[in-house]
Every structure is written in C-alpha cells, then in structure tokens.
C-alpha cells in the first residue's frame, strides 16, 4: 500500500489573478531558456537589420534579466528582455515574429512587461530606446503611453560606419 500526501485544497493552489501577467487566451508567457534560444535567434535575425548576437542573449540570461517568450502551443510569437535597476525597468529588446506582426502581440508583450514591472519588480518607471527611423515602434510606444524624454545621438549602427539617433522614452507605472 502506498502512502499519498493529501491533495491541497483548490483554494490553496489558485494564484491570485493580479500575480499572473495578462496574456490572450491560448497564449502562454514562459521564461526564455536555452531550449528556446535557437528559435528566438532565428526570429531576431529576420526581424532586425542589426540583430542581437547569441552572446547578447546568453549574457542577458546569465545576468538574470527578465526574459519572457510569448507562445501559442509550441510556436514562438514574440519575446522581450528587460533589466531592473533600482525602481526602474529598462526594456532592452522586444520582438514579435514578422509572420505574426500586426496582431496586437507587441501590446500583449508590453502588458505583460508592465504588469511584472509594477507587481513583481515594484518599479516606478519603464524605460526604452528606439531607433529614430522606427516610426512603427515609436507609434506603438506612444499609443501605449510612453513619452519621449530625450535622444541619444549616433547611438545605433546603420550602414558603413554611420549611426542613428536613439529616442529615449519612458512610462510612469504608478499615478
């Protein structure tokens, strides 16, 4: 005869909804792991003219940055990587797979990041930088509530040694 520990009550196993990040039905938000890294790198290389290197991702994971992947079943839809510094969270990378762009997934990723930043990191601000020429992303961030607070001249590489301005944006997380 085997001895079994009593099953916990249903109430004890439920996690309050305020702890879980908001994601659409059928989507899961999972930690970026080495097992998902190859797929994420493939998306990164298709999505950007100057993608993060495998070393950038590995360093972010080893540093303990908040790295999450939005999945539908076994398919990677998008991901983000953020770093907490005191009462601020800095969004370092957010990417939606090009075949899934235009479906509101970037907004879903931002919702999940803002939720984590408020309720787990207890941050006051969310910060990001975006290429000046990336008007699509800038409009997304503005619609989300970010405001431009500065610019970093010659920050991003472009071509042949040329550099592009980074627009610095922030979002207050608490009223």
Q: CATH no. for residue 69?
A: 3.40.630.30
Q: Which of 44, 65, 108, 141 is catalytic?
A: 141
Q: Is residue 7 part of a domain?
A: no
Give the whole-number percent of the chain exceeding pLDDT 70. 89
Q: Is residue 154 part of a domain?
A: yes
Tens of pLDDT, residue by residue over 84-101, are 999 999 999 999 999 999
Backbone φ and ψ for 18, nearest 5 degrees, come out as -70, -20
Task: Report the domain count for the chain.
Answer: 1
Between 16-25, 50-59, 70-79, 145-154, the lowest mean confidence (pLDDT) is in 16-25
141 is catalytic: yes
Q: Cβ of 40: how many Cβ atoms within 10 Å?
A: 23
108 is catalytic: no
Q: Which of 129, 132, 144, 155 is catalytic?
A: 129
Q: Is residue 12 part of a domain?
A: no
The pTM assigned to this predicted structure is 0.85
Q: Is residue 36 part of a domain?
A: yes
Q: Is residue 4 part of a domain?
A: no
Give the whole-number percent of the chain exceeding pLDDT 90. 78
Q: Is residue 2 part of a domain?
A: no
Provide the pLDDT for residue 143. Answer: 97
Mean pLDDT of the chain: 88
Domain span at 163: 24-172
Per the annotation, does 134 bind a ligand?
A: yes
Residue 129: both structure tokens together: 């930088």
Provide the pLDDT for residue 20. Answer: 61
**CB of 61 within 8 A of CB of 32?**
yes
**Token pair 């610019």: residue:** 151
């Amino acid at each position: 005869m085997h001895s079994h520990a009593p099953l916990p009550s249903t109430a004890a196993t439920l996690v309050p909804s305020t702890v879980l990040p908001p994601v659409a039905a059928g989507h899961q938000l999972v930690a970026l792991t080495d097992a998902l890294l190859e797929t994420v790198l493939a998306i990164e290389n298709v999505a950007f003219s100057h993608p993060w290197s495998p070393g950038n991702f590995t360093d972010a994971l080893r540093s303990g940055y908040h790295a999450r992947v939005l999945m539908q079943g076994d398919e990677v839809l998008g991901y983000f990587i953020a770093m907490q510094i005191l009462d601020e969270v800095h969004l370092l990378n957010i990417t939606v797979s090009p075949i899934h762009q235009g479906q509101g997934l970037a907004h879903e990723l931002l919702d999940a990041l803002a939720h984590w930043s408020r309720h787990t990191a207890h941050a006051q601000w969310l910060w990001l930088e975006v290429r000046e020429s990336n008007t699509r992303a800038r409009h997304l961030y503005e619609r989300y509530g970010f405001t431009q607070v500065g610019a970093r001249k010659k920050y991003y590489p472009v071509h042949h040694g040329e550099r592009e301005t980074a627009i610095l944006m922030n979002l207050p997380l608490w009223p």
